[in-house]
Amino acid sequence: MIENLIQIIKTFFQYKENEPIFFTEIVFWIFFTAVFSIFTIVYKKYTWRNLFLFIVSIFFYYKTNGVFFVLLLFSITNEYFVAKAIYKSKNISKRKILIAYSVILNLGLLSYFKYAYFFTDSFNQVFGTNNQVINYFALWSNTISGGHLNVDKIIFPIGISFYTFQILSYTLDVYRHKLKPLNNILDLGFYATFFPQILMGPIVKARDFIPQLYKPYKINGYFFGLAIFMILNGSIKKLVFGDYMAANFIDKIFGNPLLFTGVENLLAVIAYSMQVYLDFSGYTDIAIGIALLLGYKFKANFNSPYKAKSVAEFWKRWHISLSSWLQEYLYIPLGGNKKGTIASYFIITILTVFIALMLDAIIVLWIVLGLTIVLGILSFIYPNVKKAVNTNVNLMITMLLGGLWHNPKITFLIWGGLNGLSLVVYKFWRKISPYQNINKWYVNTWKIFITFIFITFTRIFFRADDMAQVKEIFDKIMYDLNWSYAPAIIANFWLVFLFLGLAFVIHLLPENIKWNYKKIFIKMPVIAKIAVVLVCIFFIYQSLSSDSVKFIYFQF
């Protein structure tokens, strides 16, 4: 018996590639129970509390990514000393060199692991070479540790997209005099690795989180109840609603669109638009709840995005932490909506080359070159054209890079480009729209519907494997949309559409109603809370799909 227990403990502390600790696994909640139990002993002294949570977070990341935790530790160590050097230096040029080094190094590491195959394939395509990707990190790790990692394949470290932006926000905030550098590298390590959000966000800005490291732990009955509610709410979103729709309908349609009718394809696209919200917001709800139990507060990452009355409003409600990061650290430094800079036009040129290489079409470069010449001439003749170009180029860059941040595929670049183009169009439309300032329910309903339909159709590029699949789905919806099949489809998948309908109803409820039922749970006696939790756990368990559905944003 004791030997078996020891073996179980040993197994738990070992890294297994196919057994990460996710919120959807029972092992995570056993892990968190143990963490919280020890936390109740060390929480009174923030030095021990921060150190303990840093060690726990590194272990959590190790269980998910194995040896890649070394890369994370390297980034933390590097930024700790760079930020200190920036803060101490009074030389403006030296400060700029240091921040440039930080940005290039962090984005360089992200690009190596995320875009190495794209860059290598593009280089081979242009120059007719046959270069192969080599995993230098694995090669180095094998040399140091005597391991046997595969050097012929680059494995993407889960969470690198999120923690890279988070660590950069620390150094950038120090550079911009919005934050003083930390005196303890372990505190920076804790900020960069906090386990509830390191893998998928939300991206927490340094100046919002770091001050909390030195505040005493306080959690009253209200925040405790809210934390439990957020965890339950996120779990139900993901495991009950989102996963059931995905496993029983959405994934089947997207797996082979040509086998299904146009109506099924259309309904799958609509259902996916809701699934990706339930999946990602469900994760962040759980992360916010866990952090709150440990005494740390995150800002909201979603604000009922499908209530948005325009694309501009949608991006203020969707993945708020990424949108605000891109706005503060990319869009505004490039010139915002006031002007285009040299950096703006350099980046847009690089992105054009990216698109041409992805499409394997040099003609794209010639088209863009011709368009640039035309716009240049018009800008010279008409000052308003020049102003329009300068004030919107940064918006397009931000959205294109947002697409590229998700994945170096043409589908994601088009997805980002469509959203960027829609934002530019909306900027002009709202100046002449006769409905812009009308606040009638039927006008708002129409605006919400149009916005949702546009966002939903751009999701096809987000979800499809490649452009061929995008074409298949659009062809089915455009040329095979026979609504006579709809009653049979809905009858066959009635539970899927019941969940979809309930998700929309709850999503569109007024915020005061949502807060009211949150408060009802928060004010419940402890015994009643326990009963609700047990009922929810039973409900979640009964609803679990036989096929495990991974969190969508883990791939980014």
Label residue 359 by pLDDT band (50, 70, 90): low
Say if CB 284 and CB 240 are below 8 A apart: no
The mean pLDDT value for 305-319 works out to 94
Distance CA 253, CA 269 (A): 9
| DSSP conformation letters of 61-113 | HHHHHGGGHHHHHHHHHHHHHHHHHHHH---HHHHHHHHHHHHHHHHHHHHHH
Tokens of 31: 């892990």
> Lowest mean pLDDT: which of 155-164, 332-341, 440-449?
332-341
Domain boundary among 175, 196, 217: 217
SS3 of residue 437 by DSSP:
coil
179 plus 63 within the same structural domain = yes
Check residue 37 and give its pLDDT.
93
Compute the average pLDDT of residues 227-239.
93
Assess whether 173 and 265 both reside in one domain: no
Residues 290 and 314 in one domain: no
Convert 289-322 to b/e letters by CB count within 10 Å (16 or more is b): bbbbbbbbebeebbebbbbbbbbebbbebbbbbb
Question: Do 415 and 458 touch, CB atoms closer than 8 A?
Answer: yes
212 & 63 share domain: yes
Do residues 206 and 296 share a domain?
no
Tell me whether residue 404 is in a domain: yes
Per-residue model confidence (pLDDT) at position 491: 92
Residues 508-530: pLDDT tens digits? 999 999 999 889 999 999 899 88
Note the pLDDT of residue 188. 94
Asked if residue 450 belongs to a domain, the reply is no
Residues written for the chain: 556
Residue 183 lies in a domain: yes
pLDDT confidence bin for 499, thresholds 50/70/90: very high
In this predicted model, what pLDDT tens digit does every residue of 194-204 receive, in sequence order? Answer: 999 988 879 89
Contact 282, 302 (CB under 8 A): no
Question: Is residue 361 pLDDT above 60, yes or no?
Answer: no
Clarify whether residues 335 and 422 are in a common domain.
yes
Same domain, 47 and 191: yes
Shared domain check, 298 and 151: no
DSSP 257-268: GGGS-HHHHHHH
Supply the pLDDT for residue 235.
Answer: 92
Letter for the amino acid at 100? A
Please indicate, yes or no, if residue 105 is contained in any of the structural domains.
yes
| Residue at 104: amino acid letter | I
pLDDT at 119: 73
Q: Which pLDDT does position 437 carry in this prediction?
A: 82
The whole-number pLDDT of residue 156 equals 78
Residue 473 lies in a domain: no
Structural domain harbouring 519:
224-302+487-556
Closest CA to 188 of 76, 271, 52, 265: 76
Boundary of a domain, candidates 168, 186, 217: 217
Mean pLDDT of all residues belonging to the chain: 85
Higher pLDDT, 338 or 434: 434
- Quick one: 102 and 177 in the same domain? yes
Q: Which of 109, 118, 207 is nearest to 164 (CA)?
A: 109
In this structure, the answer to whether residues 277 and 149 fall within a common structural domain is: no
Residue type, 501: G
HSE at residue 2, side-chain half, CA atoms within 13 A, is 0
10 Å CB burial of residue 544 (0-12, 13-18, 19+) is middle
Q: Is 92 a member of any domain? A: yes
In which band, very low, low, confident or very high, does the pLDDT at 36 lie, cut at 50, 70 and 90?
very high
Q: Is the overall model pTM greater than 0.85, yes or no?
A: yes
pLDDT for the residue 397: 83
| 212 and 232 part of one domain | no
Domain boundary residue, one of 182, 199, 217: 217
pLDDT computed for residue 159 by the predictor: 85
Does residue 5 fall inside a structural domain?
no
- Is 448 inside a domain boundary? no
| Cβ–Cβ < 8 Å for 319, 332 | no
Please give the C-alpha separations between residue 231 and each of 36, 76, 290, 465, 552, in angstroms, as whole numbers. Answer: 15, 29, 7, 31, 18
Residue 289 in this model has a pLDDT that exceeds 90: yes
23 with 78, same domain: the answer is yes
Domains of the chain: total: 3
**Which pLDDT score is estimated for 545?**
62
pLDDT, average across residues 53-81:
91
User: In this prediction, what percent of the chain has a pLDDT beyond 90?
Assistant: 44
